[in-house]
Structure 1
Amino acid sequence: MENSLFDKTFRDSQGNIVIAQPPNLPLLVGITAAVLSLMVKSGNIHIGVDAIAFGCLFTWAWQELFEGVNYFRRGLGLLVLIGVIASRFFNNF
């Protein structure tokens, strides 16, 4: 297999092009909790669901950043990690 930039960016170790994968548990729980936090606008339930969403999406992004199958997935993890942290930072203002 050729070791071009395209291959490093989009192919996994077996040579398959990988852009999307089935979601894993942190992503499923994070998206579900994020949707629930949009439905429940205030109170302790909102705080708890929002914390779960942040933790799960942070975990998913961290895993993709350091264990992603290719550069595209690792870059996606970096973008989501920056987005999750930025949303938490700017949400407090």
Structure 2
Amino acid sequence: MTNNTFFDKTFRDDDGQIVLAQIPNLPLIVWIVTSLLSLIITNGKINTLLEVLANGSLFTWAWLELFQGVNYFRRALGLFVLIGMIVFKLNN
């Protein structure tokens, strides 16, 4: 059982474990794989498809973290990734 301190809400999950990182879920795995493949296949329709899949899966991961993250840290991480994606796309 955890206390309801700010530290606990920020870094602990429902089981009282401190959670900063987790095993990657499917959207994060898809993002990693498609991002790496887009570095190998650098032009054409396949590269465009890989970039769309990479962006879509990273957006999905960040959205899930923002609204379903196990603690405030994970939710903030999702928010920062979403903001970072927007800023990166606006500057490209």
**TM-score between both structures, scaled by the size of structure 1:** 0.91
Return the offset for 1:62: 0.3
What runs of 5+ residues in structure 2 fail to find an aligned partner? none
1:60 matched to which residue of 2? 61
Map of 1:5-84 to 2, 5 A cutoff?
A: 5-84=6-85
**TM-score between both structures, scaled by the size of structure 2:** 0.92
Return the offset for 1:85: 2.1
What runs of 5+ residues in structure 1 fail to find an aligned partner? none
Q: % of aligned pairs identical?
A: 57
Aligned length: 91
Return the offset for 1:31: 1.1
Pick which of 52-61 and 15-24 moved more. Answer: 15-24
Pick which of 82-91 and 58-67 moved more. Answer: 82-91
